[in-house]
Amino acid sequence: MDAAVLVLAREGVRCAFGVPGAAINPFYSALRAHGGIRHILARHVEGASHMADGYTRAKAGNIGVCIGTSGPAGTDMITGLYTAQADSLPILCITGQAPRAKLHKEDFQAVDIEAIAKPVAKWAVTVREPALVPQVFQQAFHLMRSGRPGPVLVDLPVDVQVAEIEFDIDAYEPLPAYKPAASRRQIERAIAMMQAAERPLIVAGGGVINADACEELVRFAETTGVPVIPTLMGWGCIPDDHPLMAGMVGLQTSHRYGNATFLQSDFVLGIGNRWANRHTGSIETYTAGRKFVHVDIEPTQIGRVFGPDLGIVSDAKAALALLCQVAEEMRAEGRLEDRTAWSDACLHRKRTMLRRTHFDQVPLKPQRVFEEVLGHTGRDTCYVTTIGNSQIMAAQLLKVYEPRNWINCGQAGPLGWTLPAALGVRAADPERRIVALSGDYDFQFLIEELAVGAQHKLPYLHVVVNNSYLGLIRQAQRGFAMDFEVSLAFENVNAAEDPDAVPGYGVDHVAVAEGLGCKAIRVKSPNEFGEAFARAEALMEEHGVPVVVECILERTTNIAMGTEIDAVNEFEEVLCLDPRLSRENGWTPPEAEPADEKVPEEAATA
């Protein structure tokens, strides 16, 4: 296994997450002998896979590594592999395996993990010849980096791990990654289609961030004056306060102004995105009256959801570099359309079509929690979250200003992902301000990983919004006129002994977090936020461990969402939060503002 560890180091691996066991101990022996690769011991192998995922997402070029023994360690990694595959992320999962002669004899913890992992990995392989070990790992890194990035699983029978081979690391070189690039003819045709439109938009997906192409995206938008709609996975590719950032679109994780602007558009240039259904809603509504160009690194993504008017297979960075070049040439020649009226109308919607957040009642409304989180955090804050009403409201109300400062699993959305992913982000970047955001159920799924943060000194702030409910599922069950098996509430028998406990809310997250070696603070009313966040920062600085801030919410809040992008139910009242944009201060809407952009009556009165 010395060869395998040497290859990992040469390929740039500096940190791994895992759980040792008998069938992977030879690999761990080599890891220990060579040093140079930090190992962080997880409490659950699924947790380790999500730590590797967070580590990959934190910085361009990172590849997180997850290690486990044979049998259940590999099956525990499947959710992590699926999550990485769904979001086009390279993580490397390494498993131990029974000896080759015992693979089909139902040996202890012998399972065909190669076959199990294949549907959720870019490549899954059991290495059956010791001499193949260096080349298998070389191919793994090549595949993870080439084309659409994705995860790989390498399964190592224990007798392969202890075999001796001839290998010279000084003669080893990583294989160059393959990335397709758009041609000038394709780019010129895409820009010609954009030129012919009156109200064009750019939809920027996670592929822009994966390709480290955000600078090129902003440059192209500024050159053409065309507003940008980031997807949930692309959030941060253009700063939220940039005048050409037009908001997010979708059924849930969207802005009112983003949906309204998209519905006014007549042309969309999608780059590095996959037309996810929570973004589009029905294809009929999403595509009506619009032409589409789709640029993606993966050929089979073009036309998978709907057929674009023009499809271009290209790495996002290569395509955007050429888009910038052609657009700048056209601007110098005075041939670019003036988009000022359209971009001004988009900016007006962005400044006025907002959601109310300032609620003073107790128990807390979640909108107030996210208002306070935004007020506490700075432009450099990295948010980490997964599925649920906590994620949806975070996307609706927070602001992101830099790429990789919104770390979110998009398609898979496994509960429990947030906590270990935040630890992986911290391991990748010791300096960044990290705020994880969880509902109570997400937090409970892999809560034991808090002990990893305490043991390995991985401090970050974890905000838990606790309504003792599966909030998103409860809201979805309204369509079935039921509220069935979604309540987490019960009378904790220990609550009577704790004057700070909340009767009827069940799990005492503060006590659990402290029992796992971390610090925790409970917030019950709006006037406690300032002190709680200040204390949390001080505790992280003093102890170097994760700090949990649990916010006690009202039991039920319906979060803005709908079945179509033109039929989002706001539930709460909406308003303008910017006093500079009031008629009393002499402000009037720009003439380019479309006349039919009223708040839907249902949304205004719900």
Residue 479 falls inside a structural domain = yes
Structural domain that includes position 478: 366-552
Shared-domain flag, residues 26 and 89: yes
Mean pLDDT in residue range 107-129:
93
Helix (H, G, I), strand (E, B), or coil: what is residue 407? strand
Residue 602, pLDDT above cutoff 50 = no
Give the phi and the psi of residue 243 in degrees, each rounded to 5: -60, -20
Contact indicator for 558, 396 with CB cutoff of 8 Å: no
Which among 296, 324, 340, 294 has a CA at the least distance from the CA of 220?
Answer: 324
- Alpha-carbon Rg for the chain, nearest whole angstrom, is 25
| Rounded Cα gap, residues 438 and 417, in angstroms | 9
Cβ distance 7 to 154 under 8 Å?
Answer: no
Q: Is residue 514 one of the residues assigned to a domain?
A: yes
Pairing of strands 354-355, 574-575: antiparallel
206-245 exposure pattern, b = at least 16 Cβ within 10 A, e = fewer: bbbbbbebbebbbbbbbbbbbbbbbbbbbbbbbbbeeebb
Q: How many residues does the chain have?
A: 606
Which position has the token pair 């432009």? 379
With cut-offs at 50, 70 and 90, classify the pLDDT of residue 261.
Answer: very high
Please report, rounded to a whole number, the percentage of residues in the chain having pLDDT higher than 90: 81
Residue 598 has pLDDT above 60, yes or no: no
Mean pLDDT of the region 133-150: 96
Instruction: Find residue 268's DSSP bridge partners.
Output: 201, 292
Paired tokens of 144? 């993870």
β-bridge pairing 434-439 and 382-385: parallel
- Which tokens go with 79? 């959710």
Per-residue pLDDT band at 1 (split at 50, 70, 90): confident
Mean predicted confidence (pLDDT) in 457-479: 90
State the pLDDT confidence band at 575, using cuts at 50, 70 and 90: low
End of a domain among 552, 573, 590? Answer: 552
The one catalytic residue in 31, 202, 387, 415 is 415
Shared domain check, 333 and 413: no
* Residue found under tokens 């006690």: 552
Q: Assess whether 113 carries a catalytic annotation.
A: no
Tell me which of 316 and 502 has the higher pLDDT. Answer: 316
Is pLDDT of 599 > 70?
no
Instruction: Say whether both 315 and 192 belong to one domain.
Output: yes
Where is the domain boundary, 276, 309, 342? Answer: 342
The answer to whether position 354 is within a domain reads no
Average predicted confidence (pLDDT) for the chain: 91
473 catalytic, yes or no? Answer: yes
pLDDT at 317 over 70: yes
First to last CA, the chain: 63
Structural contact between residues 472 and 392, judged by C-beta atoms closer than 8 angstroms = yes
Residue 175, CB-side half-sphere exposure with 13 Å CA sphere:
16
Within 13 A of 485's CA, how many CA atoms are on the CB side?
0
500/374: higher pLDDT: 374
List the catalytic residue out of 6, 7, 8, 19.
Answer: 19
Outline where DSSP puts E strands in 225-361: 228-230, 267-271, 291-296, 310-313, 354-355
- How many whole angstroms separate alpha carbon 475 and alpha carbon 561? 10
Q: Which of 320, 470, 523, 549 is catalytic?
A: 470
CA distance 582 to 454: 49
CATH code assigned at 23:
3.40.50.970
- For residue 530, the 8-state DSSP code is H
The answer on 191 and 84 residing in a single domain is no
pLDDT at 495: 81
Residues 75 and 126 in one domain: yes
Pairwise CA distance, residues 521 & 509, whole Å: 9
Would you give the DSSP letter of residue 175? P
Same-domain status, 375 and 499: yes
Q: Among the options 37, 162, 310, 473, which is catalytic?
A: 473
Catalytic: 323? no
Residue 604 has pLDDT above 80, yes or no: no
562 is a domain residue? no
Inside any domain, residue 72: yes
Note the pLDDT tens digit of each residue in 13-65. 999 999 999 999 999 999 999 989 999 999 999 999 999 999 999 999 999 99
Per-residue pLDDT band for 590 (boundaries 50, 70, 90) equals very low
Question: What is residue 111's three-state secondary structure?
Answer: coil
Domain of residue 255, CATH code = 3.40.50.1220
* Domain identity same for 192 and 151: no
pLDDT of residue 32: 93
Question: Residue 589: its pLDDT value, please?
Answer: 39
Q: Which of 158-162, 465-469, 502-506 is modeled with the greatest confidence?
A: 158-162
Domain total for the chain? 3
pLDDT at 576: 54
Beta strands in 47-146 (DSSP E): 64-68, 91-97, 123-126
Amino acid making up residue 470: L
Residues 309 and 292 sit within 8 Å (Cβ to Cβ): yes
CA distance 18 to 41: 5
Residue 521 makes CB contacts below 8 A (sequence gap 6+) with 510, 532, 535, 536, 547, 548, 549, 550
CA-CA-CA-CA torsion for 493, 496, 501, 507, nearest 10 degrees? 0
Q: Which amino acid belongs to residue 314?
A: S
Write out the H or E segment, with its range, that includes residue 453. helix 450-455
456 and 534: one domain? Answer: yes
User: pLDDT-based confidence at 588, cuts 50/70/90?
Assistant: very low
Give the residue among 47, 44, 41 at the shortest CA–CA distance from 416: 47
Q: Average the pLDDT over 590-597 and give the result.
A: 37
My answer on whether 288 and 381 are in the same domain is no
Q: In terms of domains, do 384 and 523 share one?
A: yes
Last residue of a domain, one of 106, 134, 166: 166
> For residue range 513-522, what is the model confidence (pLDDT) as tens digits?
999 999 999 9
By the 8 A CB rule, do 400 and 236 touch? Answer: yes
Pairing of strands 91-97, 461-466: unpaired
pLDDT classification of 587: cutoffs 50, 70, 90: very low
Give 229's strand partners. Answer: 203
What pLDDT shows up at residue 526? 94
**The one-letter amino acid at 31:** L
Is residue 490 over pLDDT 70?
yes
Q: Let me know whether 333 and 374 are in one domain.
A: no
Whether residue 335 sits in one domain with residue 192: yes
- Tokens 């060579």 locate to 34
Q: Is residue 151 part of a domain?
A: yes
138 within some domain: yes
pLDDT at position 594: 37
In-domain check, residue 353: no
- Among 7, 24, 31, 45, the active-site one is 45
| Beta bridge mates, 550 | 464, 522
Among 99-113, 349-363, 365-379, the range scoring the smallest mean pLDDT is: 99-113
CA distances from 179 to 33, 176, 182, 235, 319 (A): 36, 10, 10, 23, 11
